[in-house]
């Protein structure tokens, strides 16, 4: 068997592609799995689900919350079963739901307790097991496994897992084998590393046991709070399944996505990137909110693909110069503050507005008349697009203004840059010596244009598309530039003038997130309705944060709560956010219980984890720092920990 090093570095040892096509939308074809009266996979619609947050032993509360999920549009309801008592009480919950007229399948969520899984599998329509927590050790032990030791461990895993497989087969119960990035077993970590390949192998080990028993009612998932890891793991899973002749449906979700605006954007980036490529048969959006609030977000994500196959055709990609299983930023030249080693830039589009100095507060610039001074936030945009308009006030030196070429040529000012169409640039008599934007689409990004500007160190392309399959259309344009040797930076531009504020949190992250995850894109530009500039700015920065391409604020890796949660997660998250939301780049994990603790908050710098009734344990990374702190003083203790490790700064006075 290969050495640990070889396996960690060779994460792309697959033969086939991960999706049907990079340019033509189609759903990945899977087998159909029956979950009670519901069919999942194949040609079935993409199913929507959520998970209860109540105590599973509280039958009345769990039934009531399940009904709210179902009435909001949930097609499966997941309920935690952390011990034998909760697993047994699933029978009462199911009985009450059926008596109330609801036939929606129930999914039992299992961690650490195979006995509970075996009970639940006789009661509910589906069980979810996490390979890293089900039958493997999880002590973060550093050791090397010989081939014989590894095989012996796999044999022990199989003997522990087989009873559940046989019960599921006997009772017609489906199973989700759900891998989490942060809860991989020591055996997997030490052989494959904390990698997408490790996640895939962790799941497929369990699937191979199922297949040896001729049991195929399986759904797979590869969840992570880091969207890059999540997307790469799902892609690798799809390619690996093809290599092994498997075609199981997949469950999509970004684990610990958080709440409100950030949670929606992060979920849209991770889930939407995969849906764009036809991957995904069921979706759960994990928000630190009431579970029924997750359903509308999931429905909006899924609805965009109901008629996607009718999109305007996009030219095929014959040579794909991007490794979809590893993140590498496209190499571009630096043009002013765009491209090269710069983080992606953000545009604010004000073509439809009469702009005053005070209006720029919505995009990060607060002007003080008394001091005649601009104050800039961490969410300050980099460029204003004014079309044929102008400004009657002085702008901050860090802010650029973009005008249409016809206006720019008559009023050239320092810090103002022209935007050309393709034909204009080729025939223009006047050009900026510093920065020139050329807006193109897939029809006019011609070989002639690319060749004409190949060595022009001032050009930045603005890629615009009206194709319903927009991500693939822009991907095709970037690939064309790459394959023809162009190092010009690119701005991803889309029109969202007719999109509601709620859907602005979903559509742009879906359309642009996948390109950023693949290292393609040096800036974002949303064209929105008048009055939506502030939300547009927030969405762009949120999308960049969710793709780890530009960090501008604190990141909260908070679980959505469930029956295992040992404190009020929503209230606590709000308290922590209120005191720490100025800590740019710091990642704080807020977990309701140990299951979602050191494992699933793998990316967090600091962890706040429920470990008893109103008792909190604090982590630095995955190491325990202080145990069983009373909840009433735990936030203060968290702040103290952040200060101790030097990551604290005082909140600016407003």
Which CATH number does the domain housing residue 159 bear? Answer: 3.20.20.20
Residues 164 and 186 in one domain: yes
Contact by Cβ (8 Å): 274, 510: no
Structural domain including 637 reads 555-644
Q: Could you give the 3-state DSSP secondary structure of residue 403? A: strand
CATH number of the domain at 614, please: 3.30.413.10
Rounded CA-CA distance 593/430 in Å is 63
Residues 366 and 290 in one domain: no
Mean pLDDT of 587-611: 72
In this structure, is residue 330 part of a structural domain? no
In this structure, is residue 650 part of a structural domain? no
The C-alpha R_g of the chain, in whole angstroms, comes to 26
Q: Give the strand pairing for 416-421 and 38-40.
A: unpaired
Q: Find all residues with CB under 8 Å of 636, minimum gap 6, and list them.
A: none
Residues 562 and 519 in one domain: no
Judge whether residue 8 has pLDDT over 50.
no
In this structure, is residue 124 part of a structural domain? yes
Mean pLDDT of 82-105: 97
Judge whether residue 412 has pLDDT over 90.
no
Rounded CA-CA distance 51/513 in Å is 26
Q: Which has the higher per-residue pLDDT, 389 or 507? A: 507
In this structure, is residue 321 part of a structural domain? no
Judge whether residue 11 has pLDDT over 80.
no
Judge whether residue 437 has pLDDT over 60.
yes
Q: How many CB atoms lie within 10 A of CB 433?
A: 6
Element (H, E) at 110: strand 106-110
For 107, counting Cβ atoms within 10 Å of its Cβ (0-12 exposed, 13-18 middle, 19+ buried), the class is buried
At which residue do the structure tokens 């740019």 appear? Answer: 584
Final residue in a domain of this structure, among 513, 546, 579: 546
Residues 294 and 166 in one domain: yes
Residues 153 and 198 in one domain: yes
In this structure, is residue 44 part of a structural domain? yes
Residues 531 and 560 in one domain: no
User: Where does the pLDDT of residue 601 fall: very low under 50, low under 70, confident under 90, or very high at 90 and above?
Assistant: low
Judge whether residue 10 has pLDDT over 50.
no
pTM attached to this predicted model: 0.89
Residues 477 and 411 in one domain: yes
Residue 306 has what pLDDT? 92
At which residue do the structure tokens 């159909």 appear? Answer: 32
Under DSSP, the state recorded for 291 is G
Q: How many CB atoms lie within 10 A of CB 569?
A: 24
Number of H helices, E strands in the chain: 20, 25
Contact by Cβ (8 Å): 494, 462: no
Q: How many CB atoms lie within 10 A of CB 417?
A: 23
Residue 420 has what pLDDT? 98
End-to-end CA distance of the chain: 60
Residues 601 and 494 in one domain: no
Q: Find all residues with CB under 8 Å of 152, minimum gap 6, and list them.
A: none
Final residue in a domain of this structure, among 546, 567, 582: 546
Tokens representing 653 are 């006075």
Total number of domains in the chain: 3
Q: How many CB atoms lie within 10 A of CB 137?
A: 12
Contact by Cβ (8 Å): 481, 436: no
Residue 597 has what pLDDT? 46
C-alpha 156: how far from its chain's center?
Answer: 34
User: Where does the pLDDT of residue 305 fall: very low under 50, low under 70, confident under 90, or very high at 90 and above?
Assistant: very high
Residues 362 and 276 in one domain: no
Residue 555 has what pLDDT? 76
Tens of pLDDT, residue by residue over 16-44, are 799 999 999 999 999 999 999 999 999 99
Rounded CA-CA distance 86/357 in Å is 59
Residues 583 and 528 in one domain: no
Residues 58 and 203 in one domain: yes
Of 193, 175, 173, whose CA–CA distance to 184 is shortest?
193
Buried (b) or exposed (e) across 511-522, using 16+ Cβ within 10 A? bbbbbbbbbbbb
Judge whether residue 654 has pLDDT over 70.
no
Q: Residue 375: phi, psi to the nearest 5? A: -110, 130
Residue 626 has what pLDDT? 86
Helix axes of 507-517 and 533-546: crossing angle, nearest 10 degrees? 30
Rounded CA-CA distance 232/18 in Å is 10
In this structure, is residue 623 part of a structural domain? yes
Q: Find all residues with CB under 8 Å of 170, minimum gap 6, and list them.
A: none
Final residue in a domain of this structure, among 491, 517, 546: 546
In this structure, is residue 327 part of a structural domain? no
Counting every residue, how long is the chain? 654
Residues 292 and 375 in one domain: no
Judge whether residue 13 has pLDDT over 70.
no
In this structure, is residue 318 part of a structural domain? no
In 291-422, DSSP assigns E strands to 345-349, 365-368, 373-376, 383-387, 400-404, 416-421
Contact by Cβ (8 Å): 175, 189: no
At which residue do the structure tokens 């009023």 appear? Answer: 411
Rounded CA-CA distance 23/359 in Å is 40
Tokens representing 203 are 């799941």
C-alpha 137: how far from its chain's center?
Answer: 28
């Amino acid at each position: 068997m290969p050495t640990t090093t070889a396996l960690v570095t060779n994460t792309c040892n697959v033969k086939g592609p991960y999706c049907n096509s990079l340019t033509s939308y189609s759903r990945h074809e899977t087998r159909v799995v029956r979950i009670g009266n519901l069919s999942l996979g194949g040609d079935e619609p993409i199913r929507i689900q959520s998970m209860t947050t109540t105590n599973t032993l509280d039958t009345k509360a769990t039934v009531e919350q399940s009904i709210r999920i179902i009435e909001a549009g949930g097609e499966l309801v997941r309920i935690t079963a952390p011990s034998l008592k909760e697993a047994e009480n699933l029978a009462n919950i199911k009985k009450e739901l059926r008596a109330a007229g609801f036939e929606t399948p129930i999914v039992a969520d299992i961690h650490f307790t195979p006995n509970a899984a075996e009970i639940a599998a006789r009661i509910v329509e589906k069980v979810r097991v996490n390979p890293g927590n089900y039958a493997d050790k999880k002590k973060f032990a550093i050791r090397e496994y010989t081939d014989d030791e590894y095989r012996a461990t796999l044999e022990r895993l199989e003997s522990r897992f087989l009873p559940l497989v046989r019960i599921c087969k006997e009772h017609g119960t489906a199973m989700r084998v759900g891998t989490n990035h942060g809860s991989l077993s020591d055996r997997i970590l030490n052989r494959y590393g904390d990698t997408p390949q490790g996640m895939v192998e962790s799941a497929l080990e369990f699937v191979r046991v199922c297949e040896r028993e001729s049991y195929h009612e399986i759904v797979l998932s590869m969840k992570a709070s880091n969207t890059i890891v999540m997307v790469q793991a799902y892609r690798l899973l799809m390619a690996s399944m093809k290599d092994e002749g498997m075609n199981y449906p997949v469950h999509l979700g970004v684990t610990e996505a958080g709440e409100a605006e950030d949670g929606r954007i992060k979920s849209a980036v991770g889930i939407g990137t995969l849906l764009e490529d036809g991957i995904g048969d069921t979706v759960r959006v994990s928000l630190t909110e009431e579970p029924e609030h997750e359903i509308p977000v999931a429905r909006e994500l899924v609805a965009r693909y109901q008629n996607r196959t009718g999109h305007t055709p996009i030219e095929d990609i014959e040579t794909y110069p991007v490794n979809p299983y590893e993140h590498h930023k496209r190499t571009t030249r630096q043009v002013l503050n765009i491209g090269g080693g710069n983080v992606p830039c953000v545009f604010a589009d004000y073509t439809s507005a009469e702009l005053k100095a005070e209006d720029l507060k919505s995009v990060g610039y607060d002007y003080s008349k008394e001091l005649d001074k601009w104050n800039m936030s961490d969410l300050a945009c980099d460029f204003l697009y004014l079309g044929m308009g102008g400004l009657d006030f002085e702008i901050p030196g860090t802010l650029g203004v973009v005008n249409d070429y016809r206006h720019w040529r008559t009023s050239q000012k320092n810090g103002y840059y022209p935007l050309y169409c393709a034909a204009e640039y080729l025939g223009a008599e006047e050009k900026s010596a510093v920065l020139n934007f050329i807006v193109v689409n897939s029809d006019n990004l011609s070989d002639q244009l690319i060749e004409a500007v190949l060595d022009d160190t001032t050009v930045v392309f603005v890629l615009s598309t009206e194709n319903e399959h927009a991500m693939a259309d822009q991907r095709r344009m970037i690939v064309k530039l790459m394959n023809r040797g162009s190092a010009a930076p690119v701005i991803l531009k889309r029109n969202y003038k007719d999109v509601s504020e709620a859907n602005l949190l979903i559509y742009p992250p879906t359309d642009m997130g996948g390109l950023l995850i693949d290292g393609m894109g040096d800036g974002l530009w949303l064209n929105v309705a008048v009055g939506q500039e502030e939300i547009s700015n927030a969405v762009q920065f949120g999308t960049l944060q969710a793709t780890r391409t530009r960090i501008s604020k604190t990141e909260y890796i908070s679980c959505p709560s469930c029956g295992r949660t040992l404190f009020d997660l929503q209230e606590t998250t709000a308290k922590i956010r209120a005191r720490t939301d100025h800590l740019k780049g710091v990642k704080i994990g807020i977990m309701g219980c140990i299951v979602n603790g050191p494992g699933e908050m793998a990316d967090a710098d600091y962890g706040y984890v429920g470990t008893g009734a109103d008792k909190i344990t604090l982590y630095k990374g995955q190491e325990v720092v202080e145990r069983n702190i009373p909840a009433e003083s735990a936030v203060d203790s968290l702040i103290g920990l952040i200060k101790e490790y030097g990551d604290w700064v005082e909140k600016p006075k407003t």
